[in-house]
Amino acid sequence: MPKSQVSLRNKHILELKTMTPAEMSLILDTAQEMKHIIDRDIKKVPTLRGKSIINLFFEASTRTRTSFELAGKYLGADVVNITTSASSVTKGESLRDTLLTVEAMGVDVIVMRHEAEGSAHFAAQAVKPVIINAGDGAHEHPTQGLLDMFTIREHKGKLAGLKVAIIGDILHSRVARSNIWGLKKMGAEVHVAGPATLLPRDIEQLGVKAYTRVEEALDGADVVNVLRIQRERQQKGLFPSPREYARIFGINAKRLALAKPDALLLHPGPMNRGLEIAPDIAYGEQSVIQEQVKNGLAVRMALLFLVLMGGNKVEAGN
Amino acid sequence: MKLVIKRGRVIDPVQNIDAIADILVENGVIAKIGEAIEAKGAEVFDAEGLVIAPGLIDMHVHLREPGLEAKEDIVSGTQAAAAGGFTTIACMPNTKPVIDNAILVAGVLRRAETEGLVRVKVIGALSKEQQGKELAEIGDMLQAGAVAISDDGHYVSDARLLRNALEYTGIYGKTVISHAEDEGLVSEGYMHEGAVSAALGMKGRPAVAEDIAVARDILLAEYTGARLHIAHVSTKGAVEIIRQAKRRGVKVTAEATPHHLALTDEAVSGFNTATKVNPPLRSRDHVDALIAGLKDGTIDAIATDHAPHAFEEKDMEYKYAPSGFAGLETALGVVLTELYHTGKMTLPEIIRCLSAAPAKILDLNAGTLQVGVPADITVIEPMREWTVDSKKFYTRGKHTPFEGAKLKGKAVATIVGGTIVMKDGEVSTCGEN
C-alpha cells in the first residue's frame, strides 16, 4: 500500500469544495494502486479486516451503492446496506435518530446518500463514525467527482490545462458541483452548458464559464461530461419536451465532433440514451463510461483505505 | 406606587428629547421628566450611564398560542420579550386554529392579560384559516381589539382578495400587513437565489419574487387608498419600490428584521438550520440597500419576526426544517452592534424604529415617554458586551443564527406600566404584577 507524506486533513469525505489538491492527488494515486487489486483473480485483501461499513442510502442507487459495497468487501471489511426510499420526514424517524441507531451498532464508516443538501454534514456533526458522502441532494457527490478526475487523468496523463465541458442539468446536479470544485483545484478549465432553466443563477461565480448553446461549450474541449436529464424536470416546466431537449441540447456524434478529436466522453450514469446522449456515441470510441464504473470502485477502495488506515493515526503510530 | 429613574440618558424621538434627566413614574404612568426629581417614598432606579427609552415594541412576533405550544406560548414568549427589552409585542395569527375570528382574538388578549408579562396585541388573519380564499371576519376582529390584519407566512396570491381586504380593513383605518413573496417563484426554494445557492445546490427563493409581490401590493394600496404594511423587507428592489411609493404618497409602511440587516446568505453555507427563514437571508448588496432604506426612512420599523420552533423540528436536514427562529432576545443587541456601534445609525434613530414607528403603524398609545402615557420603559446599556447563548433564552425556540455571536448593547431593565418585569436579564414570574 502506498505510504505518503500527505494524509487527509479531515476525518470525513463530505465535499471536494474544501479538499486540497494534495489530498485529491493522494486519493487518485492510491486509487491507481487499488485498481490492480480489481484485476486480480482473487480480489480479496485483508487490509480492512475487522472494520465495518454501512451503506445508508435514502435514495435509490445501483452503481454507487454496489461500488461501495464491493470496495469494502475487496478490502476485507464487513459491509451492510440499509436502503430506505422514504425521507426521514415521511418515515417518522429523524435522520439523527437513524444515525444514532447505526452508530450504536459500532460501525466504522457510514456511506450516506440522501436527497437533502447538507445531510452528510449533518451526519458528520451528529455521530462519531467516518462519514463518506455518496451524494447529498444537488450539493456534492465527491466520489463521483474523484472517479471522473481519475478517469480523465488516466487517459490524458494530467488534469491541469485541460478544458472540460459539463453538459446538461447543472441546476440539479451534485456531480456537476463536485466536478467543478475538483477540476478547478487541479488546474482544469471548466465550461458548463445546458438550457438556461437548468443552469443555476450566478453559476459563473463558481469560476466556470456558462453557455446556453452546448456547441460553444464543446468547442475544443478535451473532455465532455454529459449529465443525466431526469424526465420529471420536464413536468416541472424546465424544458418543453424530451424530444426538443435531445434535438437542441443532446450530445450526438456531430456535436461531439466540435470537441478535440481525442476528446473523452463521460457520463455518470444511469444514461437516458436518445435523450441527453445519442446511442451511437454512448459506447463509441471516445466513450469511457464503462471505465468510469471500474474506476469508481478503485477510488472508493482508496477512500475507504485512507479514511480507515491512512490517516493521521497511522502516521502517529509509526 | 412611585418609581424614579435617575440620571439616565433619556431618549424619546417623539418629543425630540435626548438628555440626561430623571423620570418619575406614578400609578403606572409617566408623571414627570426633569432634572433632580425628588419623590418621597419612591423606589429609586439609578440609571447613570444607561439609556432610558420608550418601551420597545415588536410588531411581528409568533407567540404560537393557541395550538403550537411546543414552539412557544404566551408565558414563554412574553418572558422572552421582557428579557429582550420589549414592552409590547403584536402576535401573528398563524396558530392552530388560525386566529381568524373575534372569539380567538378576544381569547388570546384575555389570556395574555392574565399570563403575559408584557403587553400583547393581536393581529387577525386576512382570510379564513389563512387559506387565501375568503375574507376572514375582519370587522369583528378589529372591533374585538385586533390591531392589524395579516395572512403572514403566506402571500395573498389572489389580487382580488387582497384588494377586498385592503378596502374592508380600510373602513376601520387599520393596516393590512403583507408577507410579500410571489408563491410560484419561491415554492420550491429554501434560501436566497444567488452564488451561494449555486454552490450549495439548494433551490433558491429569488429576490425578484419579493420585488414583484411588493410592487403588486403597493399598486393595490395605491388604487384603494388603504393602508399597507410590508413585513420583513429583504431586497434591494423592494426598498426602492417602497421608496418611490412613499414619494407618490401611497400609505405604505415597512419593517426590516435584525437578521436581514445583519446577516447574508453566506451564513447558510454550513447548512445550519438556524439560518433558514422566509424571506431568506440575502446577499450583501441587498443587506446594504436595506440598511440605507432604514436610515432614510423608507423602512419605518425594526421587527423581529420572532418565529420559534421546537428543538427537534429544527434539528434536521436543511430542506425539511421549518423556516424561522427566535428573535426577541437577540434583536436589540444585534441592531446596536450592527447599526449603532458601526456608526451607521444614531441611538435616537434606532430607538424610533423600535418604538415610535411600530406604535404609529399599529395605532398604539405607546412608543413615547410623554407625561400621561403608560410607563412602558426600556433601560438599555449600549456598551454592555455579551455573548448569545440560546441555553439562557426564555423562549422555547433555541435556534438562532446569532448563537455564539459577541454583541454590544443590551436591555438591562424592562418596565411595563410602571412595574419592573426584567432587571439584569432576570424576568419576574408571569402574573406576579
Concatenating the DSSP letter of every residue in B193-233 gives -SHHHHHHTPPEE-HHHHHHHHHHHHHHHHHHT--EEE-S-
| pLDDT at A194 exceeding the cut of 90 | yes
pLDDT, one tens digit per residue, over B232-248 is 999 999 999 999 999 99
- Cβ-based contacts under 8 A for chains A and B: 71
Q: What pLDDT is stored for residue A83 in this prediction?
A: 85
Q: What pLDDT is stored for residue A232 in this prediction?
A: 81
Distance in Å, alpha carbon of A105 to nearest chain B alpha carbon: 22
Q: How would you class B217 by CB atoms within 10 Å of its CB: exposed for 0-12, middle for 13-18, buried for 19 or more?
A: buried
Q: What pLDDT is stored for residue A313 in this prediction?
A: 38
Chain B residues with CB inside 8 Å of A172's CB?
201
B424 touches chain A (CB under 8 A): no
Query: ∠ CA(B369), CA(B372), CA(B376), 5° rounding?
Result: 45
| pLDDT at B272 exceeding the cut of 70 | yes
Q: What pLDDT is stored for residue A317 in this prediction?
A: 30
d(CA A43, CA A36) in angstroms, rounded, equals 9
Least confident of A35-44, A70-79, B211-220: A35-44
Q: What pLDDT is stored for residue A234 in this prediction?
A: 81
Q: Are strands B377-387 and B51-54 parallel, antiparallel or unpaired?
A: antiparallel
* Average pLDDT over every residue of A189-200: 98
Chain B residues with CB inside 8 Å of A96's CB?
315-316
pLDDT, one tens digit per residue, over B407-431 is 999 999 999 999 999 999 999 875 5
B206: nearest CA partner in chain A: A201
pLDDT, one tens digit per residue, over A4-50 is 556 888 899 999 999 999 999 999 999 999 999 998 988 889 999 99
Confidence of residue A316 (pLDDT cuts 50, 70, 90): very low
d(CA A54, CA B391) in angstroms, rounded, equals 35
Q: Please, are residues A288 and A264 in contact by the beta-carbon 8 Å criterion?
A: yes
| pLDDT at A92 exceeding the cut of 90 | no
Q: Please, are residues B282 and B293 in contact by the beta-carbon 8 Å criterion?
A: no
Chain A residues with CB inside 8 Å of B276's CB?
none
- The pTM of the whole model exceeds 0.90: yes
d(CA B431, CA A283) in angstroms, rounded, equals 77
| pLDDT at B433 exceeding the cut of 50 | no
* Average pLDDT over every residue of A249-265: 98
φ, ψ dihedrals at B4, nearest 5°: -115, 125
Q: What pLDDT is stored for residue A93 in this prediction?
A: 84
Which percentage of chain B shows pLDDT scores above 90?
A: 98
Chain A residues with CB inside 8 Å of B195's CB?
202, 205-206
Q: Do B316 and A138 touch (CB under 8 A)?
A: no
* Average pLDDT over every residue of B258-272: 97
Instruction: Tell me the domains of chain B and their CATH numbers.
Output: 2-52+374-427 (2.30.40.10), 55-361 (3.20.20.140)
Helices A174-185 & A21-39 angle (0-180, nearest 10): 110
Chain A residues with CB inside 8 Å of B316's CB?
88-89, 94-96, 122
Q: Please, are residues B213 and B220 in contact by the beta-carbon 8 Å criterion?
A: no
Strand order in the sheet with A109-114: A78-83, A52-57, A109-114, A130-136
pLDDT, one tens digit per residue, over A299-315 is 999 999 999 987 433 33
Helices A289-308 & A21-39 angle (0-180, nearest 10): 110
Q: What's the Cα-to-Cα distance from B384 to each of A130, B328, B380, B387, B406, rounded to whole Å?
A: 42, 17, 9, 10, 10
Q: What pLDDT is stored for residue A230 in this prediction?
A: 86
A204: nearest CA partner in chain B: B195
Q: Please, are residues B373 and B29 in contact by the beta-carbon 8 Å criterion?
A: yes
B371 touches chain A (CB under 8 A): no
Q: Do A206 and B319 touch (CB under 8 A)?
A: no
* Average pLDDT over every residue of B53-64: 98
**Closest CB to A203 among B198, B317, B318:** B198
| pLDDT at A318 exceeding the cut of 60 | no
Annotated active-site residue A40? The verdict is no
ipTM of this complex: 0.93
Q: What pLDDT is stored for residue A4 in this prediction?
A: 52
Q: Please, are residues B263 and B236 in contact by the beta-carbon 8 Å criterion?
A: no
| pLDDT at A87 exceeding the cut of 60 | no
| pLDDT at B195 exceeding the cut of 60 | yes
Q: Are strands B51-54 and B56-61 parallel, antiparallel or unpaired?
A: unpaired
Chain A residues with CB inside 8 Å of B204's CB?
200-201
Mean pLDDT score of chain B, rounded to an integer? 97
Q: Do A117 and B202 touch (CB under 8 A)?
A: yes
* Average pLDDT over every residue of A160-182: 98
Residue where the block lists cell 374585538:
B144
Residue where the block lists cell 403603524:
B361
Q: Please, are residues B149 and B124 in contact by the beta-carbon 8 Å criterion?
A: yes
Q: Which residues lie closer than 8 Å to A40 by C-beta, 6 or more apart?
A: none
The answer to whether the bond into B401 is cis (omega within 30° of 0) is no
* Average pLDDT over every residue of B259-266: 98
d(CA A217, CA A188) in angstroms, rounded, equals 14
d(CA B338, CA B351) in angstroms, rounded, equals 14
Q: What H or E segment, with its residue span, contains residue A234?
A: helix A232-235
pLDDT, one tens digit per residue, over B148-185 is 999 999 999 999 999 999 999 999 999 999 999 999 99
Q: Do B201 and A174 touch (CB under 8 A)?
A: yes
Q: Please, are residues B74 and B41 in contact by the beta-carbon 8 Å criterion?
A: no
Q: Name every residue in A having a CB less than 8 A away from some CB of B.
A: 17, 87-89, 94-96, 114, 116-119, 121-122, 137-140, 172-174, 177, 200-203, 205-206
* Average pLDDT over every residue of B71-77: 97
Q: Please, are residues A211 and A193 in contact by the beta-carbon 8 Å criterion?
A: yes
d(CA B398, CA B391) in angstroms, rounded, equals 7
B195 touches chain A (CB under 8 A): yes
Annotated active-site residue B100? The verdict is no
Q: Please, are residues B132 and B158 in contact by the beta-carbon 8 Å criterion?
A: yes
Helices A63-74 & A289-308 angle (0-180, nearest 10): 50
Q: What pLDDT is stored for residue B35 in this prediction?
A: 94
Q: Where are the strands (E) in chain A, listed by range?
A: 52-57, 78-83, 109-114, 130-136, 163-167, 189-193, 209-211, 223-226, 264-266
Q: Please, are residues B180 and B231 in contact by the beta-carbon 8 Å criterion?
A: yes
d(CA B75, CA B310) in angstroms, rounded, equals 15
